[in-house]
Each structure stands twice: as C-alpha cells, then as structure tokens.
Chain A
C-alpha cells in the first residue's frame, strides 16, 4: 500500500507540505497545536530532526504524534547522530508505527548547533541512507541479513538549486535519484529564473520536486539567511520589498511574498508542489496558503 503522501505525489495534484518542529522538552502543546491546525490542510508534514543540530524532541516521536493525530508525517532523518545500526533500527520502528515517508538528509554539522562538542557520526550519507531504505524494502538489512517483517517507505531527499558551484550538487542529486529517491524537497528558492533553469534540467528525471519556500519575517532575517544559511540567497529586490513594509507589517509582507511565489510556481507549473518552511511561525502556513490561493 503506498502511503497517503505517495498517493498525493502520484495523483498529479499540486502537493503542499510543511513542517512540524519538535520542541526542546516534553511539552508538546505548541507542536500539537500546529499539527491540529495544519494536518488537514497540507498533504504531509515534515518532522525535523534536531534542526540546525539543536537537540530537541526526536523526529520519530514527532512523526508518530502526527500519525496519531490523524496527519501524514514525513520523517526527517539525518546521518549526523546515528550510525547504520541505529538508522535501520529507527526505520523499523517507524514502519511498525505507521510512519511510511522518510526524507533523507546528511545533516548540519554538530558545530552549528547547541552541543558543539558532541561526536559527529556521518557513518552514512544521504544517498546511502536512501539506498539502505531500498535494501530493507527487499527484505534484507544492510549486512544482508533477512528481516522478519519488512518495511515500505516513500523515500525522498533534498537538493540546493541555488548552490554555487551547482555542478557538484547536481551529481549528488543524480546519485540520490539512482539510489531510489522518489521525491525531492528543495532548499529555499527565491530566484524563480534560477529555479526554472534547475527544473528544466531536473524534468528529465522521474522524480517529484517540491520547491522549498521559507517565510521571510523581516529584512534583517533575510540578510541573516544570506550571510549564515548556505545555499539560500534572498535577492536584494525581495529584501528591499521586506524593508518597504510599514512598521509592524513585515510578517504580513513575508506572507504576501511567500504566497505570491507559491502561486507563480503553481500557475506556471514550474514543479510538482511546495514545501513551506515557516520556521517558528508554523501557524502562518494557513495564511501563506490562503495568499497563494490554495
């Protein structure tokens, strides 16, 4: 049985995903509120895995919570904190609890987070994690041993269309597809001309691509991302537009911009859907979707 999200991808509809960000601690009220608010409005919710290498409630726990609340989770798994035994074990656990979508990521450096002295793992990379999922689906673990009770996942990965230079990223992208990635959620894209160019190239592969949209909350936030978030480039014109917002109106302007971009992506059929990242402002996803006419 394909997952609900997989069916949405295959249906040809414009797919929308968003994020549910686990909190630091066991008070899950905010996360539950976001899940409740969004679960029926989007096709699936990604649950982030110690985002930015900051220790939080686990993505697997969050994904199970989304499932229990009637939503469709995409389990984000990074290779930063677990070796191949732990990753496979968590995949078995996920499958046993009805979590059947996985986004495979390398993971940020431990040094960028709040436990800088921790041992980084990176036993596997993102393409190898995708390949491991496909191996497990054939009934074997990575060591070739039989699994008693199998798994089935809709497995995806990410790409950074605005990376410079782009060629090494594209080679890695193709390796992820060859390893078996069925969908791609991109890093944030703001330059539509550049993204269109990427899609002209990507269209040759049978993979569903959801464009990453990060909600801009202020002009300084946009400048901060340009300076600190690799692979994200907010063009000056958008920074100026954010700066032009009346006092107290920056967030509304950001919602307007995100909505406009999503509308353009959908109307011009640039790719198969969007992945909305409203980092810390998850309740605004509803407004972004309304602004996009979704």
Chain B
C-alpha cells in the first residue's frame, strides 16, 4: 500500500497562518495521516487543545474516512453549521486532502501538515519513497530499484563519490541507491545492465502539471 507521508508544520507557522482567523474548524483523516500519527483522532484532539489554549474558538472537529475522496465534500456538508461558524478550516491531512476540501467548500483552508512524499510501507512504521512518478521509468535496467528516487542526486549511471559504506553523503541513515542496485544486479547476474551507459534523462515524461483523461470509448 502506498501512503501520503506528512509532517506537522512548526507551531509558529500554524500560528502565523491562523493569524486573524479566530474561529477554527479542524479536519483530520482516517487513512494515511492516522497511520503516520500526524492527523488522526488523537492528533486532531491535541490540536483542538492547543488552539483553545492559544485563545482560538474551535467550532468543531471531524476525522473524515478518506479526505482525498470526493465524498469528503458530502460528509462535510452534513456538519455544515459547525463549519459555517468557522473563519477557516485547519486541515490535518496531506495536500491531496486539503485540495479536495478546498475545491468543495467555500472556506479558507489552512494546512497543518507538510506533505513530504508518497511512501511505500517497507516495515512496521517505516516508509520509504520509492517512486517520483517521473514518467520515464528505467527500473527495468536497475534491478527494480529506482535511482531517480532512491539516489539523492537522481543519478542514473552509478554512484557519486559521496557514498561510503553503502550510505548516502547527506545522511548515514539513508542507503546509497547505487550500492543497493549493484548488490541486486550482482545477485541476479545482471551487472551488465549497470555497465550500460544511460543517456541523459528525458524530463518530458509528463510536463508538469500532470493531467490524464480516459480516452473516449
């Protein structure tokens, strides 16, 4: 399962964003942010306490099941009176949820979280970014490990000189993608594919902003 990985914004930033907005309704989400403990029921309750102590009026709170689902608009419509009393919605979901709500409710939305990456759960409580959705996938030649994502510099022809002991120069807690790719390809007897020169990447996979429409039947 992939998850949207989020992090609570610094308290000062939330305070600044809510400046002049005294009545606040808080929205959490029952999916990714519940799992990562950044926007589930306990975090929403803690935020309510924090804002109340800071002198805000919390007109209500809710934890919607899946904030990024279009049904969220209908769920929020059901508690319209509490939302209408608020100057702003403080939304403790990922940016997909914030934008889904912003499109459906005519109200100022303030994100309480930063969305870091779309992560794969690789162990209990452990999430890794494994794909950047670049649109020009090369993992058929890199042992199924994406260097565009897993290498800090997105290098496609092998490691930089900053790697050591299988770790990345920016953080000894992060693995060097190219050490991992080397080990995988070696195991598979496919080191030849690492020796193959990769041309400069095509950054035109899907020009930003991405858009997709099902073709008409």
Q: Are A178 and B197 in contact (CB under 8 A)?
A: yes
CA distance A164 to B197 in the complex (A): 22
CB distance B153 to A123 under 8 Å?
no
- What's the Cα separation between A174 and B163 when bound, in Å? 17
Do B200 and A84 have beta carbons less than 8 Å apart?
A: yes
**B-side interface mostly:** loop
Q: Are A124 and B200 in contact (CB under 8 A)?
A: yes
A168 and B200 in contact, given A108-B169, A122-B154 (Cβ under 8 angstroms): no
Once the chains bind, are A163 and B164 in contact (CB under 8 Å)?
A: yes
Q: How large is the interface on A (under 10, 10 to 19, 20 to 34, 35 or more residues)?
A: 35 or more
* Contact bitstring B182-204, A, C-beta under 8 A = 1, else 0: 10001000010011011111010
A133 to chain B, nearest CB (A): 13
Whether a CB of chain A sits under 8 angstroms from the CB of B166 is yes
CB-nearest residue of chain A to B203 = A123
Q: Which of these, B169, B181, B203, contacts A109 with CB under 8 Å?
A: B169
Q: CA of A18 to CA of B105 in the docked complex: distance in angstroms?
A: 64
Known contacts being A109-B169, A112-B169, A128-B200, is A175 close to B155, with CB within 8 Å? no
Q: Does A287 contact B (CB under 8 A)?
A: no
Residues of A within 8 Å of B115, CB to CB, are none
CB distance A125 to B162 under 8 Å? Answer: no
* Chain B residues, Cβ within 8 Å of A122: 153-155
For chain B, the bracket of interface size reads 20 to 34
Contact A175 B164 (CB under 8 A): no
**B197 near A172: Cβ-Cβ < 8 Å:** no
B162 touches A109 (CB 8 A): yes
Looking at the assembled complex, report how far the CB atom of A26 sits from the nearest CB atom of chain B, in whole angstroms. 30
Residues of B within 8 A of A107 (CB): 153
Q: Give 9 A-B pairs besides A127-B157, A168-B182, A172-B159 with Cβ atoms closer than 8 angstroms.
A: A109-B152, A123-B200, A165-B166, A167-B186, A175-B157, A175-B195, A230-B162, A230-B164, A231-B164
Interface positions of A from 109 to 144, Cβ below 8 Å from B: 109, 111-112, 120, 122-128, 131-132, 142
Q: Contact between B154 and A169 (Cβ–Cβ < 8 Å)?
A: no
- A230–B178 Cα distance when bound, in Å, is 15
Kindly state whether residue A46 has any CB partner on chain B within 8 Å. Answer: no
Q: List 15 A-B contacts (CB under 8 A).
A: A106-B153, A108-B169, A109-B152, A109-B170, A112-B170, A127-B158, A160-B161, A165-B179, A168-B181, A169-B159, A171-B158, A172-B178, A178-B197, A230-B162, A230-B169
Cα–Cα, bound, A109→B166 (Å): 16
B143 to chain A, nearest CB (A): 12
Smallest beta-carbon distance A118→chain B, Å: 14
Residues of A within 8 A of B (CB): 80, 84, 105-109, 111-112, 120, 122-128, 131-132, 142, 158-160, 163-165, 167-169, 171-172, 174-175, 178-179, 187, 230-231
Q: Is the interface of A mostly helix, strand, loop or mixed?
A: mixed
Query: Are B157's CB and A128's CB within 8 A?
Result: yes
Selected contact of B157 from candidates A109, A125, A167, CB within 8 Å: A125
CB distance from A30 to the nearest CB of B (A): 27
Choice from B158, B170, B182 contacting A175 with Cβ under 8 Å: B158
Contact A164 B161 (CB under 8 A): no
With A84-B200, A171-B182, A175-B197 known as contacts, the answer to whether A164 contacts B158 (CB < 8 A) is no
B residues within 8 A CB of A175? 157-158, 195, 197
Across the interface, which residues of B come within 8 angstroms of A169, CB to CB?
158-159, 161
Q: Could you say which residues of chain A place their CB within 8 Å of the CB of B152?
A: 109
